[in-house]
Amino acid sequence: MIIRPAVSTDLDSVVELARSAGIGVTTLPDSREILAERLRLAERSFSARLPPEKAYYFFALESVETGSVLGVSAIQARVGLDDVWYNYRVANTVNAFKEMGIHRQTPTLYLTNDMTNCTELCTLFLNPKARSGPNGHLLSKCRMLFLAERPDLFSEKVFAEMRGYSDASGHSPFWESLGQKFFKLDFPKADYLTGLGNKGFIAELMPKNPIYLPFLSEDAQRCVAQVHDQTGPALALLKREGFNYNGLVDIFDAGPVIEAFFAPDSNSAGIG
């Protein structure tokens, strides 16, 4: 196996991977047009024909034996500079009345734009037939090597939004208990529109007030900061690289956001 920059001639392979990824891998939408544009964007990024903050570095895992692309991963140099980037911060709201002996901590979701102008690790997907051995590690760690090679291109803070829980049919308890009340879309449709870059509707329809978690269903509460069954290995790998949960979750499926930082006095990343 080799890792190389993805190029436009990989389009058919990347589309096939996107179709097999299923619901919840937002940054790998099943759209030939969008994926073709991302491959062109990657070619311009690797050849330094874009401002560093607009770059998108798309990597392909290729089998030397067959020449087929078996997986992809990517780095978005900066997020939230063109469109508003949203997450929920999970925090506690405390209510106390000493005279009555009442002290309550209520988990609460606050809408935030905290990850604006940070670097995102994204679009990690491996063909199910290639998931044995070290292929997944290679596909993920190549991004760490690239970050370490060119720290001048990226933010000091690097993060990844992990795929949140949904079942095999695309049912997301968190979305159905919260997001669907405001968007009137099922989870697969909302996920697909976000993957296409249609994020403007979020700002218009998402509630700006804090959300008290006990108001959501018990199933939805259990989903907060939990990952999809297929995402556990990727989360474990990133944790071994120094990433940690930062208290933020995705606004659609409540998947956790994990982050790490470049070492401030070194040319190598503090994530390895």
Alpha carbon distance 219, 221 (integer Å): 5
Q: Which of 103, 137, 171, 228 is catalytic?
A: 228
Alpha carbon distance 201, 206 (integer Å): 8
Give the Å distances, CA to CA, from 6 to 21, 42, 62, 66, 70: 18, 7, 10, 16, 12
Alpha carbon distance 74, 120 (integer Å): 8
Active site residue 228: yes
Instruction: Check if the beta carbon of residue 252 is closer than 8 Å to that of residue 179.
Output: yes
- Tally the residues of the chain: 272
The residues that are catalytic are: 228
